[in-house]
Structure 1
Amino acid sequence: MHTQTRDITGMAAAEAADGHIAPIETRPVATDPLRVDIFDSMAPLELEWRALERDDLNSLHQSYDWCAAWVENFERPLAIIRGSIGDHVAFILPLEIIRSRGTRRAEFIGGHHNNINTGLFSARFLANGELTPVQLDTISAALRSKVDVAILRNVPLEWRGRKSPLASLTSIENQNHAFQMPFLGSFEASLKQVNAKRRRKKFKHQSRLLDARGGYEYVIADPDQQDALLDLFFRQKAARFKDAGLPDAFNDVRIKAALHAMLRRQEGDVPNATLQMHALRLKGEHEGHIPAIAALSRKGDHVICQFASIDEALVAEASPGELLFWLMIERLHRESVALFDFGIGDQIYKRSWCPMETVQYDLFLPVSGMGRLAAVTQQSITRTKVAIKSNRKLYSFVQRLRARHGAGATSDDGGGDAD
């Protein structure tokens, strides 16, 4: 299947009924100089932060609740950037400080567990376009006593028709792309993007297989079921990583605690969810067995599958993971969703569902001489990763080496399974 590689420039966001897609104002922010303040805690910014995140094109991964869950459990020092022009809050960049090999890096809170990063920008500031060289110098000067370099990973330079103000930073294509399925009004229309006839035939076959074993049900976990389902995911995923000879990207108590905390950060007045557990559960002879789990996040009309797992011990022939994606996507068509995002990482099942592939970039703002060296080094590392991932045999060998040495070394850098 052909997959389009693009930054979703041709797919603008659907206008939300509650007006949470902020139109870019034609009147730019006043020409007053940019003032930059650096905060080492989140609380003083909460009201301004939540006001900016109401714009649904500002990524969920920079939302207050998503960031708070990581901050509370990793307890890394913070360097949260607030940019203001006059009395107007222009943007917030939620960064944490990671010390590695003698260098202090400022990166987005959540690190490699984020599927897309945009920062938080006001509609008025977006009218100005990209950050100017003078504004970048102002940010760099404010960071100088705290970090050596800011590395902003997994940023699309254009997202759903909106150009990123961060595009003026030095950039390199990230080794991982993201994969999406746009919803085209009806479920049937969306399926036609990915061979509707084959998909329907497979769904009927899967259903017949499971019906012969007593049936199944699609479960959206209630609040009192969410934690148990997430713990089951951790066990399933650990077993899958072990069988594949790969490091367990979730083998860190801080990561597990942060994800559990997100389950308790639901918005009551809208269908948005920081993290919500979904599953396929068997009936009949294997009553209660769960062969497939997925965790979804939602912001506005954009749903992201953050992670998923399968247990092939009983009904592997029915491809339970594929069936769960069908059920989730079918249901979300009835709930004003416009884009289902499978997240970063190139996997066969994602390509089978997704006609869109989004290129993301790593952006660099050196602050010190050591930071400039670190930026050059990181760009070289990324180029090497791109080369390795383009060679499947070499990539498999590297993954086996990582598994042999364990995943613990990656956790301090936010480690993820899409590296």
Structure 2
Amino acid sequence: MQTQTRDIADMTAEAADERIVSIGMEPAPSVHLQVDIFDSTAPLEAEWRALEQDHLNSLHQSYDWCAAWAENLKRPLAIVRGSIGNHVAFILPLEIIRSHGIRRAEFIGGHHNNINTGLFSARFLVNGPLTPVQVNAISAALGGKVDVAILRNIPLEWRGRPSPLASLTTIENQNRAFQLPFLGSFEASLKQVNAKRRRKKFKHQSRLLDAKGGYEYLIAGPDQQDALLDLFFRQKATRFKDAGLPDAFKDARIKAALHAMLHRHQDDSIGATLQMHALRLKGEHEGHIPAIAALSRKGDHVICQFASIDEAVVADASPGELLFWLMIERLHREGVALFDFGIGDQTYKRSWCPMETVQHDLFLPVSGVGRLAAMASRSMTRTKVAIKSNRKLYSLIQRLRARHVAGAPADDRGDAD
């Protein structure tokens, strides 16, 4: 294990160094923030798990989530720990990605994370956003390891809590997250999204499936989860192929990381790093599974990490929609306050969600080339935001991209955002 340490008291004399972000300085506070960089997760486990007990610190920065990705993707790590005396103020779990000669530090899990917050202690949060001196201390500690830190998909305010990272350079991410808040009763919750229409659709779906022998809602047990996840990979690969899009789960390391998460559960008995849910048919199509979803839960917040459908049979019953109804109805009874459909603007999400959360990408240049990379990344994000705000243009680009991807070698296929 290697660490790199910088004390905030050493920083004011180095404000002109190219590795330090260009923001105004302020006098050093009476207490010193020490910043350490770790290249493995294990030395931080106890402190990490203590910070993640705060339910507003994202599940995607939890120890189990990050360890599963780190152990399987095996990217170099640059985990930032900030301490004041014996008090751990924050942990930012970052991995290093090398691309086009640039070393980027991003949150572990990257494009598979739906919301990022970092991990901050309650004592540190009362001080508000990171100060310029604190930002400079982080930048200097990362010096020599990375060129730029790009922290994606961060809401500047999450469930009433401002992000301490909001003082970094920010730009709105091209994707928003969509949520359904749970109100006092299930009926009141449904009224946010047209309860009458929702109930009518649910009854219609149930009648169609009952006519073919019925169905059951399955929450996979320990001996079922891996098989159900493998079925999801097959279903999703078919959907991606039919749409002419690259398979986001094709990499065996990604599959291994998600399998590992199935067997990591939080100590509070209601939390789950990843849990498989499905709709299973009876009767005429006995055992067939037309819809699958993977949920994560932390406290009263549930995230649908991914979902798939198989339209080979009962497509007219909209099995994916039916599965969401069954999951949402059950979770409302179990005391969940927020059902999160995750990032990405899709019609089925808008039909369920009266709430959307704007997320931002945050930038911390560490070197001269990192400054240029940050500028290029911000420019690209602005372009994506402009394209996605123009539905006709976005639709055209999607069609063109589908044609390109369908004819491209697998190794040439980019991501789908």
Q: Which runs of 5 or more structure 2 residues have no equivalent in the other structure?
A: 1-28
CA separation of 1:410 and 1:343: change in aligned 2, threshold 3 A: farther
The whole-number CA distance in structure 2 between the counterparts of 1:167 and 1:385 is: 21
The whole-number CA distance in structure 2 between the counterparts of 1:97 and 1:178 is: 25
Asked whether the 8 Å contact 2:94–2:108 carries over to 1, the reply is: yes
Asked whether the 8 Å contact 2:58–2:118 carries over to 1, the reply is: yes
Partner of 2:17: none
Q: Deviations over 1:157-187 (max 9, x none)?
A: 0000000000000011001100000000111
Q: CA deviation at 1:389?
A: 2.5
Partner of 1:226: 225
The yes-or-no answer on 1:396 pairing with 2:399 is: yes
The whole-number CA distance in structure 2 between the counterparts of 1:363 and 1:225 is: 39
Runs of 4 or more above 6 Å deviation: none
CA separation of 1:140 and 1:305: change in aligned 2, threshold 3 A: same
The whole-number CA distance in structure 2 between the counterparts of 1:267 and 1:134 is: 35
The yes-or-no answer on 1:166 pairing with 2:161 is: no
Partner of 1:182: 181
The whole-number CA distance in structure 1 between the counterparts of 2:407 and 2:371 is: 33
Name the amino acid aligned to 2:204. Answer: H
Asked whether the 8 Å contact 1:175–1:389 carries over to 2, the reply is: yes
Partner of 1:18: none
Name the amino acid aligned to 1:393. Answer: L
The whole-number CA distance in structure 1 between the counterparts of 2:47 and 2:412 is: 36
Q: CA deviation at 1:393?
A: 1.4
Give 1:284-323 correspondences, 5 Å limit.
284-323=283-322
The whole-number CA distance in structure 1 between the counterparts of 2:273 and 2:50 is: 17
Asked whether the 8 Å contact 1:41–1:80 carries over to 2, the reply is: yes
Partner of 1:41: 40
Partner of 1:236: 235
The yes-or-no answer on 1:353 pairing with 2:388 is: no
Name the amino acid aligned to 1:88. Answer: H
Q: CA deviation at 1:301?
A: 0.1
Asked whether the 8 Å contact 1:251–1:407 carries over to 2, the reply is: no
Partner of 1:100: 99
Give 1:9-408 correspondences, 5 Å limit.
31-390=30-389, 391=393, 392-405=395-408, 408=411
Q: Deviations over 1:23-64 (max 9, x none)?
A: xxxxxxx84121100000000000000000000000000000
Name the amino acid aligned to 1:295. Answer: A
Name the amino acid aligned to 1:169. Answer: L
Name the amino acid aligned to 1:298. Answer: R
- Secondary structure of the residue that 1:219 maps to in structure 2? strand
CA separation of 1:239 and 1:369: change in aligned 2, threshold 3 A: same
Name the amino acid aligned to 1:395. Answer: Q
- Secondary structure of the residue that 1:343 maps to in structure 2? strand
Asked whether the 8 Å contact 2:89–2:124 carries over to 1, the reply is: yes
Name the amino acid aligned to 2:362. Answer: L
The whole-number CA distance in structure 2 between the counterparts of 1:330 and 1:299 is: 18
The whole-number CA distance in structure 1 between the counterparts of 2:396 and 2:54 is: 43
- Secondary structure of the residue that 2:203 maps to in structure 1? helix
Q: CA deviation at 1:114?
A: 0.1
Q: Deviations over 1:335-378 (max 9, x none)?
A: 11000000000000000000001000000000000000000000
The structure with higher relative contact order (CA 8 Å, sep 6+) is 1
Q: CA deviation at 1:408?
A: 4.3
Name the amino acid aligned to 1:89. Answer: V
Q: CA deviation at 1:381?
A: 1.0
CA separation of 1:129 and 1:269: change in aligned 2, threshold 3 A: closer
CA separation of 1:408 and 1:356: change in aligned 2, threshold 3 A: farther
Q: CA deviation at 1:399?
A: 4.1
What is the aligned-residue identity percentage?
81
Asked whether the 8 Å contact 1:249–1:407 carries over to 2, the reply is: no
Asked whether the 8 Å contact 1:389–1:395 carries over to 2, the reply is: no
Q: How many residues align?
A: 385
Q: CA deviation at 1:383?
A: 1.3
Q: Deviations over 1:67-100 (max 9, x none)?
A: 0010011100000000011111000000000000
The whole-number CA distance in structure 1 between the counterparts of 2:129 and 2:224 is: 44
Asked whether the 8 Å contact 1:388–1:395 carries over to 2, the reply is: no
Greater CA radius of gyration, 1 or 2?
2
- Secondary structure of the residue that 2:57 maps to in structure 1? coil
Q: CA deviation at 1:405?
A: 3.0
The whole-number CA distance in structure 2 between the counterparts of 1:76 and 1:374 is: 20
- Secondary structure of the residue that 2:175 maps to in structure 1? coil
Q: CA deviation at 1:410?
A: 6.5
Q: CA deviation at 1:384?
A: 1.7
Q: CA deviation at 1:400?
A: 3.6
Q: Which runs of 5 or more structure 1 residues have no equivalent in the other structure?
A: 1-29
Q: CA deviation at 1:269?
A: 3.7
CA separation of 1:406 and 1:178: change in aligned 2, threshold 3 A: farther
- Secondary structure of the residue that 1:264 maps to in structure 2? coil
The whole-number CA distance in structure 2 between the counterparts of 1:402 and 1:109 is: 27
